[in-house]
Chains A and B, each alone.
Chain A
């Protein structure tokens, strides 16, 4: 089986230009952590083709998104769940409408089917009490839950999470990770998960199959979990 995500000789740090190679297999949870200036915050953008890596290439399901047209790239991204740093929730929509948005624009499902899917996600992330509020009326944890619900709305097999556990407790982080994993199979998690950030709680680190830290030289160092 091909790896859902492969970084091939991609430099992380503009200064050192040290390139790294990393493959994320299906059912795996891999985290890459580093300082704010290390370039770790760009990795999610590389995966989704939002930014072009300075060298090397990033393959998602064997496809280099940079080789696709803008329209095809947009369509391809629907195969990948994405929780951006800072949630990226639209402030003029309720949490429920935020969750429904990718389904409304990216699927041919009927409004009734979409509502049904959203209700399932709202229940799974336990935000039923605040689903009709806007992000500004909800707290950080509720927004993070809604952003994760939106990321898994299409039930993707690959999930990219940028700083997903900042500002939430370790208990909530563990709960969010379990929802992100989408249940267990004989091989591991149902989804492949790629996490980037500066730090993640120890309880989440233990659930990762691999954990990398960026060194000052700009290379990746595998940390024993």
Chain B
């Protein structure tokens, strides 16, 4: 318990320090951070589009085609709207998108920062008077939040479109499908999804960076840091999702 509290305290200090460092960036430094952030978004979001489309499409198609068939037998096809909004858009979408980003980019961020540390690049940055949180953490943090948000929107769009394909495959008309889904989707769901995207993006941006920078000088620490970052991020994503259910 004490270890977990200590880790939470260290994470809070790390995040707070990073946030403060962000406000002290000179103009030319902002340009560098913007460039690194764009690179991070390209890697985390753009390169992950195919994976997210695939996961979302298959998941939605399977769930909706099963639901239309089973719910149709008891005359409850109206419920597929609730199913697609509650199960896919609100719960599974953020969870699966976050796990995909942790698997693809969280591990890469942790490995990259751990390697930076082992190679002496972090020490060199500090020696030159550059806060590593400004150059290394901030762009990855912003990139993770922006990517999580963008990929989640994509996931939901593909899920709803794919759900329509599944419904059409099971003889449901487009207008009927749109009517059911739109009736189930509320502004609250949209806001909740946005809040979730931001919260999960925070977790994916902070935890891998923290564990990546926590290594000392041995190369053998790199895989350990990556493993810890991955496990902590997955646990963090699930806990965060559970918290939203409790609060929502």
Residues of A at the B interface (CB closer than 8 Å) are 44-45, 48, 50, 71, 74-78, 82, 84-91, 101-111, 114, 150
Lowest 3 CB-CB distances: which A-B pairs, in order? Answer: A88-B124, A77-B129, A78-B129
Q: Which of B119-134 touch A at CB < 8 Å?
A: 119-121, 123-131, 134
Q: Which of A86, A90, A91 has the most CB of B within 10 A?
A: A90
**A90, B130: Cβ atoms under 8 Å?**
no
Other A-B pairs beyond A74-B126, A103-B28, A107-B28, 16, CB < 8 Å: A45-B123, A48-B126, A71-B24, A75-B129, A76-B129, A77-B127, A78-B128, A78-B129, A88-B124, A89-B121, A101-B125, A105-B130, A106-B130, A108-B26, A108-B27, A150-B128
Q: Judge if B29 is at the interface, Cβ distance under 8 Å.
A: yes
Q: Which residues of the partner chain B approach A78 to less than 8 Å between Cβ atoms?
A: 128-129
**B129, A50: Cβ atoms under 8 Å?**
no
Q: Which residues of the partner chain A approach B121 to less than 8 Å between Cβ atoms?
A: 88-91
Question: How many chain B residues touch A (Cβ–Cβ < 8 Å)?
Answer: 23
Complex: A103 Cα to B26 Cα, angstroms:
10
Query: Assuming A105-B134, A108-B27, A111-B31, is B124 touching A84 (CB within 8 A)?
Result: yes
Q: Which residues of the partner chain A approach B135 to less than 8 Å between Cβ atoms?
A: 101, 105
B16-32 vs A, Cβ < 8 Å mask (1 yes, 0 no): 00000000111111011
Q: Which residues of the partner chain A approach B27 to less than 8 Å between Cβ atoms?
A: 108, 110-111
**B134, A50: Cβ atoms under 8 Å?**
no
Q: Which residues of the partner chain B approach A71 to less than 8 Å between Cβ atoms?
A: 24
Query: Assuming A78-B128, A111-B31, A150-B128, is B123 touching A104 (CB within 8 A)?
Result: no
Residues of B at the A interface (CB closer than 8 Å) are 24-29, 31-32, 116, 119-121, 123-131, 134-135
**B119, A106: Cβ atoms under 8 Å?**
no
Q: Which residues of the partner chain A approach B130 to less than 8 Å between Cβ atoms?
A: 74, 101-102, 105-106
Query: Assuming A50-B123, A84-B120, A85-B120, is B31 touching A104 (CB within 8 A)?
Result: yes
Q: Which residues of the partner chain B approach A103 to less than 8 Å between Cβ atoms?
A: 28
**B123, A88: Cβ atoms under 8 Å?**
yes
Complex: A86 Cα to B116 Cα, angstroms:
12
Complex: A88 Cα to B32 Cα, angstroms:
18
Interface of B is mostly: helix
Q: Which residues of the partner chain B approach A82 to less than 8 Å between Cβ atoms?
A: 124, 127-128
Q: Pick the contact of B127 from A88, A91, A111 — CB < 8 Å?
A: A88
B216 to chain A, nearest CB (A): 12
**B28, A104: Cβ atoms under 8 Å?**
yes
A54 to chain B, nearest CB (A): 18
Q: Which residue of A lies closest to B31 (CB)?
A: A111
B20 to chain A, nearest CB (A): 9
Q: Which residue of A lies closest to B32 (CB)?
A: A104
**B119, A77: Cβ atoms under 8 Å?**
no
Complex: A71 Cα to B121 Cα, angstroms:
19
**B32, A77: Cβ atoms under 8 Å?**
no
Q: Which residues of the partner chain B approach A102 to less than 8 Å between Cβ atoms?
A: 128-130
Complex: A102 Cα to B28 Cα, angstroms:
10
**B28, A114: Cβ atoms under 8 Å?**
yes
Complex: A221 Cα to B86 Cα, angstroms:
75
Q: Which residues of the partner chain B approach A45 to less than 8 Å between Cβ atoms?
A: 123
Complex: A87 Cα to B135 Cα, angstroms:
18
Complex: A86 Cα to B25 Cα, angstroms:
27
Complex: A100 Cα to B28 Cα, angstroms:
10
B119 to chain A, nearest CB (A): 7
Q: Pick the contact of B129 from A85, A86, A106, A110 — CB < 8 Å?
A: A106
Complex: A20 Cα to B243 Cα, angstroms:
57
Q: Which residue of A lies closest to B122 (CB)?
A: A88
**B26, A50: Cβ atoms under 8 Å?**
no
**B127, A105: Cβ atoms under 8 Å?**
no
Q: Which residues of the partner chain A approach B126 to less than 8 Å between Cβ atoms?
A: 48, 50, 74, 77
Q: Could you name 30 residue pairs across A and B whose Cβ atoms are closer than 8 Å?
A: A45-B123, A50-B127, A71-B24, A76-B129, A78-B129, A88-B120, A88-B121, A88-B123, A88-B127, A90-B121, A90-B124, A90-B125, A91-B119, A101-B32, A104-B26, A105-B26, A105-B29, A105-B130, A105-B134, A105-B135, A106-B26, A106-B128, A106-B129, A107-B26, A107-B28, A108-B26, A108-B27, A111-B27, A114-B28, A150-B128
